Amino acid sequence: MIAGIQKYARGSGYEVSVLFLGEGPLVTAMRDAGISASAVSWTASRRDLAGAWRGWRWLREHTAEIAHLHHGGLSVRTVCRMAGVDAVVQHIHSRILEPSGAPIAQMDFRGIDAIIACSQAVADCLPRRHAEVIYAGVETASDPAAVAPTGPLKLGVLGRLIPLKNVESVINAAARLRAMGIEVRTEIAGSGPSESSLRDLALGLGVTDRVCFLGWRTDVDKLLASWDLLVIPSLEEGFGLSALEAMAAARPVVASRVGGLSELVVDGVTGRFVPPGDIDALVCCIAELASDRQRLAFMGDEGWKRARKHFSVERMAQRTAELYDQLQARQ
Protein backbone atom coordinates (compact mmCIF):
# COMPACT_ATOMS: atom_id res chain seq x y z
CA MET A 1 0.00 0.00 0.00
CA ILE A 2 2.81 2.46 0.86
CA ALA A 3 4.42 1.86 -2.54
CA GLY A 4 1.15 2.71 -4.23
CA ILE A 5 0.72 5.93 -2.31
CA GLN A 6 4.32 6.89 -3.09
CA LYS A 7 3.82 6.25 -6.80
CA TYR A 8 0.39 7.79 -7.35
CA ALA A 9 -0.05 10.40 -4.63
CA ARG A 10 3.12 12.40 -5.26
CA GLY A 11 1.19 14.46 -7.78
CA SER A 12 -1.16 15.45 -4.95
CA GLY A 13 1.71 17.03 -3.05
CA TYR A 14 2.56 14.22 -0.63
CA GLU A 15 5.95 12.64 -0.09
CA VAL A 16 6.08 9.34 1.77
CA SER A 17 8.75 8.18 4.20
CA VAL A 18 8.33 4.87 6.03
CA LEU A 19 9.51 3.96 9.51
CA PHE A 20 9.56 0.34 10.66
CA LEU A 21 9.76 -0.49 14.36
CA GLY A 22 12.51 -3.04 13.80
CA GLU A 23 14.53 -4.48 10.92
CA GLY A 24 12.93 -6.90 8.48
CA PRO A 25 12.76 -7.89 4.81
CA LEU A 26 10.20 -5.20 3.98
CA VAL A 27 12.71 -2.46 4.79
CA THR A 28 15.02 -3.67 2.03
CA ALA A 29 12.10 -4.22 -0.35
CA MET A 30 10.92 -0.64 0.17
CA ARG A 31 14.39 0.77 -0.41
CA ASP A 32 14.83 -1.33 -3.55
CA ALA A 33 11.56 0.21 -4.80
CA GLY A 34 13.01 3.70 -4.32
CA ILE A 35 11.03 4.52 -1.18
CA SER A 36 12.59 6.27 1.80
CA ALA A 37 12.50 3.54 4.46
CA SER A 38 14.15 3.38 7.87
CA ALA A 39 14.03 1.09 10.88
CA VAL A 40 14.50 1.83 14.57
CA SER A 41 14.41 -0.54 17.49
CA TRP A 42 11.19 0.31 19.34
CA THR A 43 8.74 -2.03 21.06
CA ALA A 44 6.05 0.71 20.97
CA SER A 45 5.45 0.25 24.70
CA ARG A 46 5.39 2.93 27.39
CA ARG A 47 8.42 1.39 29.09
CA ASP A 48 10.68 1.55 26.04
CA LEU A 49 11.86 5.13 26.51
CA ALA A 50 14.99 4.63 24.42
CA GLY A 51 12.89 3.33 21.52
CA ALA A 52 10.45 6.22 21.90
CA TRP A 53 13.35 8.66 21.71
CA ARG A 54 14.62 7.01 18.52
CA GLY A 55 11.14 7.26 16.99
CA TRP A 56 10.82 10.90 18.06
CA ARG A 57 14.19 11.76 16.55
CA TRP A 58 13.28 10.14 13.22
CA LEU A 59 9.99 12.05 13.09
CA ARG A 60 11.77 15.33 13.79
CA GLU A 61 14.37 14.65 11.12
CA HIS A 62 11.69 13.88 8.52
CA THR A 63 9.40 16.76 9.56
CA ALA A 64 6.31 14.58 9.26
CA GLU A 65 3.01 16.46 9.05
CA ILE A 66 0.78 13.37 8.93
CA ALA A 67 1.57 10.10 10.69
CA HIS A 68 -0.18 7.16 9.03
CA LEU A 69 0.13 4.35 11.58
CA HIS A 70 -0.23 0.66 10.78
CA HIS A 71 1.10 -0.51 14.14
CA GLY A 72 1.33 0.77 17.68
CA GLY A 73 -1.10 2.31 20.10
CA LEU A 74 -1.29 5.33 22.36
CA SER A 75 2.46 5.39 23.07
CA VAL A 76 3.30 5.77 19.37
CA ARG A 77 0.62 8.41 18.87
CA THR A 78 1.92 10.37 21.87
CA VAL A 79 5.44 10.40 20.45
CA CYS A 80 4.08 11.58 17.11
CA ARG A 81 2.39 14.53 18.82
CA MET A 82 5.52 15.38 20.78
CA ALA A 83 7.48 15.40 17.53
CA GLY A 84 5.12 18.00 16.06
CA VAL A 85 2.97 15.82 13.80
CA ASP A 86 -0.21 17.69 12.84
CA ALA A 87 -2.51 14.72 12.29
CA VAL A 88 -2.49 11.03 13.17
CA VAL A 89 -4.23 8.40 11.03
CA GLN A 90 -4.71 4.93 12.49
CA HIS A 91 -5.04 2.14 9.93
CA ILE A 92 -6.99 -0.86 11.27
CA HIS A 93 -6.26 -4.17 9.54
CA SER A 94 -8.16 -6.68 11.65
CA ARG A 95 -11.36 -7.20 13.61
CA ILE A 96 -9.35 -8.48 16.57
CA LEU A 97 -6.32 -7.36 18.54
CA GLU A 98 -3.45 -9.81 18.19
CA PRO A 99 -2.26 -11.81 20.01
CA SER A 100 -4.97 -11.48 22.65
CA GLY A 101 -7.87 -11.99 20.24
CA ALA A 102 -9.85 -9.19 21.93
CA PRO A 103 -12.35 -7.28 19.76
CA ILE A 104 -10.85 -4.27 17.98
CA ALA A 105 -13.51 -2.08 19.62
CA GLN A 106 -11.52 -2.40 22.86
CA MET A 107 -8.58 -0.51 21.34
CA ASP A 108 -7.63 2.83 22.89
CA PHE A 109 -8.47 5.41 20.22
CA ARG A 110 -7.24 8.53 22.02
CA GLY A 111 -5.13 10.92 19.97
CA ILE A 112 -6.44 9.79 16.58
CA ASP A 113 -7.66 12.26 13.95
CA ALA A 114 -8.92 9.69 11.46
CA ILE A 115 -9.39 5.95 11.18
CA ILE A 116 -8.96 3.89 8.03
CA ALA A 117 -10.49 0.41 7.99
CA CYS A 118 -9.17 -2.12 5.50
CA SER A 119 -12.69 -3.45 4.87
CA GLN A 120 -16.32 -2.79 5.71
CA ALA A 121 -16.22 -5.86 7.95
CA VAL A 122 -13.56 -4.15 10.06
CA ALA A 123 -15.38 -0.80 10.03
CA ASP A 124 -18.54 -2.51 11.27
CA CYS A 125 -16.64 -3.57 14.39
CA LEU A 126 -16.23 0.10 15.36
CA PRO A 127 -19.85 1.20 15.87
CA ARG A 128 -18.93 4.26 17.94
CA ARG A 129 -16.18 5.43 15.59
CA HIS A 130 -16.29 6.69 12.03
CA ALA A 131 -13.86 4.76 9.88
CA GLU A 132 -13.09 5.43 6.23
CA VAL A 133 -13.09 2.15 4.33
CA ILE A 134 -10.17 2.22 1.92
CA TYR A 135 -9.40 -1.05 0.22
CA ALA A 136 -5.82 -2.01 -0.54
CA GLY A 137 -4.86 -1.77 -4.18
CA VAL A 138 -2.68 -3.90 -6.42
CA GLU A 139 -1.12 -3.73 -9.84
CA THR A 140 -2.81 -6.26 -12.12
CA ALA A 141 -0.71 -8.42 -14.41
CA SER A 142 -1.00 -7.23 -18.01
CA ASP A 143 -0.62 -10.74 -19.41
CA PRO A 144 -1.14 -13.23 -16.57
CA ALA A 145 0.06 -16.83 -16.94
CA ALA A 146 -2.65 -19.35 -17.74
CA VAL A 147 -3.81 -21.99 -15.28
CA ALA A 148 -2.16 -25.33 -16.12
CA PRO A 149 -4.59 -27.32 -18.29
CA THR A 150 -3.36 -30.71 -17.08
CA GLY A 151 -1.14 -32.36 -14.47
CA PRO A 152 -1.29 -32.20 -10.68
CA LEU A 153 -3.20 -29.22 -9.31
CA LYS A 154 -0.80 -26.78 -7.66
CA LEU A 155 -2.22 -25.14 -4.54
CA GLY A 156 -0.61 -22.17 -2.85
CA VAL A 157 -0.90 -20.85 0.68
CA LEU A 158 0.48 -17.39 1.36
CA GLY A 159 0.68 -15.76 4.79
CA ARG A 160 1.92 -15.86 8.36
CA LEU A 161 2.17 -19.28 9.92
CA ILE A 162 0.11 -18.71 13.05
CA PRO A 163 -2.89 -20.63 14.48
CA LEU A 164 -5.37 -18.02 13.22
CA LYS A 165 -4.42 -18.83 9.62
CA ASN A 166 -5.47 -22.48 10.10
CA VAL A 167 -2.88 -23.78 7.61
CA GLU A 168 -3.13 -27.25 9.18
CA SER A 169 -6.48 -27.69 7.45
CA VAL A 170 -4.78 -27.51 4.05
CA ILE A 171 -2.22 -30.13 5.10
CA ASN A 172 -5.03 -32.38 6.34
CA ALA A 173 -6.84 -31.82 3.06
CA ALA A 174 -3.70 -32.83 1.15
CA ALA A 175 -3.68 -36.17 2.96
CA ARG A 176 -7.38 -36.74 2.29
CA LEU A 177 -6.99 -35.85 -1.40
CA ARG A 178 -4.10 -38.29 -1.74
CA ALA A 179 -6.27 -41.05 -0.29
CA MET A 180 -8.91 -40.17 -2.91
CA GLY A 181 -6.33 -40.55 -5.69
CA ILE A 182 -6.39 -36.85 -6.61
CA GLU A 183 -3.02 -35.42 -7.64
CA VAL A 184 -2.47 -32.15 -5.75
CA ARG A 185 0.75 -30.37 -4.85
CA THR A 186 0.72 -27.76 -2.07
CA GLU A 187 3.27 -24.99 -1.50
CA ILE A 188 3.18 -22.95 1.69
CA ALA A 189 4.90 -19.57 1.53
CA GLY A 190 5.37 -17.77 4.83
CA SER A 191 6.98 -18.03 8.22
CA GLY A 192 5.87 -17.89 11.82
CA PRO A 193 5.70 -19.72 15.14
CA SER A 194 3.46 -22.51 13.79
CA GLU A 195 5.96 -23.65 11.15
CA SER A 196 7.50 -26.41 13.26
CA SER A 197 4.15 -27.96 14.22
CA LEU A 198 2.93 -27.72 10.63
CA ARG A 199 6.02 -29.54 9.37
CA ASP A 200 5.46 -32.22 12.00
CA LEU A 201 1.85 -32.58 10.86
CA ALA A 202 2.90 -33.06 7.24
CA LEU A 203 5.45 -35.64 8.32
CA GLY A 204 2.94 -37.47 10.51
CA LEU A 205 0.38 -37.61 7.70
CA GLY A 206 2.97 -38.80 5.22
CA VAL A 207 2.53 -35.94 2.78
CA THR A 208 5.99 -34.36 2.81
CA ASP A 209 6.24 -35.29 -0.88
CA ARG A 210 3.08 -33.28 -1.59
CA VAL A 211 3.45 -30.34 0.83
CA CYS A 212 6.43 -28.01 0.46
CA PHE A 213 7.37 -25.19 2.86
CA LEU A 214 8.95 -22.27 1.03
CA GLY A 215 9.63 -19.92 3.97
CA TRP A 216 9.34 -16.14 3.73
CA ARG A 217 9.19 -15.06 0.10
CA THR A 218 9.17 -11.66 -1.56
CA ASP A 219 8.60 -12.90 -5.13
CA VAL A 220 4.84 -13.21 -4.68
CA ASP A 221 4.08 -12.52 -8.36
CA LYS A 222 6.34 -15.37 -9.44
CA LEU A 223 4.79 -17.76 -6.93
CA LEU A 224 1.22 -16.95 -7.94
CA ALA A 225 2.09 -17.44 -11.60
CA SER A 226 3.30 -20.96 -10.76
CA TRP A 227 0.17 -21.91 -8.78
CA ASP A 228 -3.23 -22.88 -10.13
CA LEU A 229 -5.19 -21.89 -7.04
CA LEU A 230 -4.73 -19.92 -3.82
CA VAL A 231 -6.21 -21.36 -0.64
CA ILE A 232 -6.99 -19.13 2.36
CA PRO A 233 -8.24 -21.35 5.21
CA SER A 234 -8.11 -18.60 7.86
CA LEU A 235 -10.39 -18.51 10.87
CA GLU A 236 -10.34 -14.69 10.66
CA GLU A 237 -9.27 -12.13 8.04
CA GLY A 238 -9.71 -8.39 8.21
CA PHE A 239 -9.36 -8.11 4.43
CA GLY A 240 -7.26 -10.83 2.79
CA LEU A 241 -4.52 -9.11 0.80
CA SER A 242 -3.23 -12.43 -0.53
CA ALA A 243 -6.65 -13.03 -2.10
CA LEU A 244 -6.41 -9.71 -3.91
CA GLU A 245 -2.87 -10.49 -5.08
CA ALA A 246 -4.09 -13.82 -6.44
CA MET A 247 -6.97 -12.14 -8.28
CA ALA A 248 -4.55 -9.63 -9.79
CA ALA A 249 -2.54 -12.58 -11.11
CA ALA A 250 -5.70 -14.22 -12.54
CA ARG A 251 -5.73 -16.97 -9.95
CA PRO A 252 -8.96 -18.23 -8.37
CA VAL A 253 -9.28 -18.26 -4.59
CA VAL A 254 -10.75 -20.87 -2.27
CA ALA A 255 -11.28 -19.18 1.08
CA SER A 256 -13.05 -19.37 4.40
CA ARG A 257 -16.10 -17.14 4.50
CA VAL A 258 -14.80 -14.82 7.21
CA GLY A 259 -14.25 -11.08 7.68
CA GLY A 260 -13.52 -8.95 4.67
CA LEU A 261 -12.92 -11.85 2.27
CA SER A 262 -16.56 -11.70 1.19
CA GLU A 263 -15.90 -8.16 -0.06
CA LEU A 264 -13.19 -9.51 -2.35
CA VAL A 265 -14.12 -12.97 -3.55
CA VAL A 266 -17.37 -13.54 -5.45
CA ASP A 267 -18.47 -17.08 -4.68
CA GLY A 268 -18.73 -19.20 -7.81
CA VAL A 269 -17.32 -16.40 -9.98
CA THR A 270 -13.81 -15.49 -8.81
CA GLY A 271 -13.43 -18.41 -6.42
CA ARG A 272 -15.24 -20.48 -3.86
CA PHE A 273 -16.09 -20.09 -0.18
CA VAL A 274 -16.05 -22.85 2.42
CA PRO A 275 -17.14 -22.66 6.08
CA PRO A 276 -14.16 -21.81 8.33
CA GLY A 277 -12.55 -24.90 9.82
CA ASP A 278 -14.61 -27.32 7.69
CA ILE A 279 -12.01 -29.70 6.22
CA ASP A 280 -14.68 -31.86 4.54
CA ALA A 281 -15.96 -28.86 2.60
CA LEU A 282 -12.40 -27.81 1.71
CA VAL A 283 -11.55 -31.28 0.37
CA CYS A 284 -14.75 -31.47 -1.68
CA CYS A 285 -14.18 -28.02 -3.13
CA ILE A 286 -10.58 -28.70 -4.17
CA ALA A 287 -11.51 -32.12 -5.60
CA GLU A 288 -14.25 -30.54 -7.69
CA LEU A 289 -12.00 -27.79 -9.05
CA ALA A 290 -9.17 -30.23 -9.77
CA SER A 291 -11.44 -31.97 -12.25
CA ASP A 292 -12.54 -28.77 -14.01
CA ARG A 293 -9.56 -26.73 -15.19
CA GLN A 294 -11.74 -24.68 -17.52
CA ARG A 295 -13.72 -23.51 -14.50
CA LEU A 296 -10.47 -22.58 -12.75
CA ALA A 297 -9.36 -20.54 -15.75
CA PHE A 298 -12.72 -18.77 -15.93
CA MET A 299 -12.61 -17.88 -12.22
CA GLY A 300 -9.06 -16.59 -12.54
CA ASP A 301 -10.02 -14.35 -15.46
CA GLU A 302 -13.04 -12.99 -13.59
CA GLY A 303 -10.90 -12.31 -10.53
CA TRP A 304 -8.41 -10.40 -12.68
CA LYS A 305 -11.21 -8.24 -14.09
CA ARG A 306 -12.59 -7.55 -10.62
CA ALA A 307 -9.20 -6.60 -9.17
CA ARG A 308 -8.48 -4.30 -12.11
CA LYS A 309 -11.86 -2.55 -11.87
CA HIS A 310 -12.40 -2.21 -8.13
CA PHE A 311 -9.04 -2.59 -6.36
CA SER A 312 -6.47 -0.59 -8.31
CA VAL A 313 -3.50 1.12 -6.68
CA GLU A 314 -4.65 4.40 -8.19
CA ARG A 315 -8.03 4.16 -6.48
CA MET A 316 -6.42 3.34 -3.14
CA ALA A 317 -3.94 6.20 -3.38
CA GLN A 318 -6.60 8.71 -4.47
CA ARG A 319 -8.87 7.85 -1.53
CA THR A 320 -5.96 8.11 0.89
CA ALA A 321 -4.79 11.44 -0.51
CA GLU A 322 -8.35 12.81 -0.24
CA LEU A 323 -8.38 11.90 3.45
CA TYR A 324 -5.01 13.60 3.93
CA ASP A 325 -6.39 16.72 2.25
CA GLN A 326 -9.33 16.79 4.65
CA LEU A 327 -6.98 16.52 7.64
CA GLN A 328 -4.73 19.28 6.31
CA ALA A 329 -7.75 21.55 5.81
CA ARG A 330 -8.66 21.21 9.50
CA GLN A 331 -5.30 22.51 10.69
The CATH number for 172's domain is: 3.40.50.2000
User: Is it the case that residue 64 has pLDDT exceeding 90?
Assistant: no
User: Is it the case that residue 5 has pLDDT exceeding 60?
Assistant: no
Query: Is 108 found in the same domain as 208?
Result: no
Task: Give dist(CA 16, CA 191) in Å, integer.
Answer: 28
Query: Is 326 found in the same domain as 214?
Result: no
Query: Is 175 found in the same domain as 73?
Result: no
Query: Is 322 found in the same domain as 203?
Result: no
Query: Is 166 found in the same domain as 300?
Result: yes
In a domain, 166, yes or no: yes
Query: Is 165 found in the same domain as 305?
Result: yes
The number of distinct structural domains making up the chain is 2
Residue-averaged pLDDT of the chain: 92
Residue 202 · residue 224 · CB < 8 Å: no
Query: Is 326 found in the same domain as 299?
Result: no
In a domain, 145, yes or no: no
Percent helix, percent strand, percent coil in the chain, to nearest 5: 40, 20, 40
Query: Is 323 found in the same domain as 301?
Result: no
Query: Is 176 found in the same domain as 110?
Result: no
Residue 8 · residue 323 · CB < 8 Å: no
User: pLDDT confidence of 110, banded at 50, 70, 90?
Assistant: very high
Question: What SS3 state is found at 181?
Answer: coil
User: Is it the case that residue 46 has pLDDT exceeding 90?
Assistant: no
Domain of residue 11: give its range: 2-137+312-330
In a domain, 144, yes or no: no
Query: Is 111 found in the same domain as 101?
Result: yes
In a domain, 147, yes or no: no
User: Is it the case that residue 3 has pLDDT exceeding 80?
Assistant: no
Task: Give dist(CA 116, CA 132) in Å, integer.
Answer: 5
pTM: 0.91
According to DSSP, residue 103 is labeled: E
In a domain, 60, yes or no: yes
Query: Is 217 found in the same domain as 133?
Result: no
User: Is it the case that residue 146 has pLDDT exceeding 90?
Assistant: no
In a domain, 112, yes or no: yes
In a domain, 143, yes or no: no
Task: Give dist(CA 305, CA 316) in Å, integer.
Answer: 17
In a domain, 148, yes or no: no
Query: Is 317 found in the same domain as 220?
Result: no
**Number of CB atoms found within 10 A of residue 42's CB:** 23
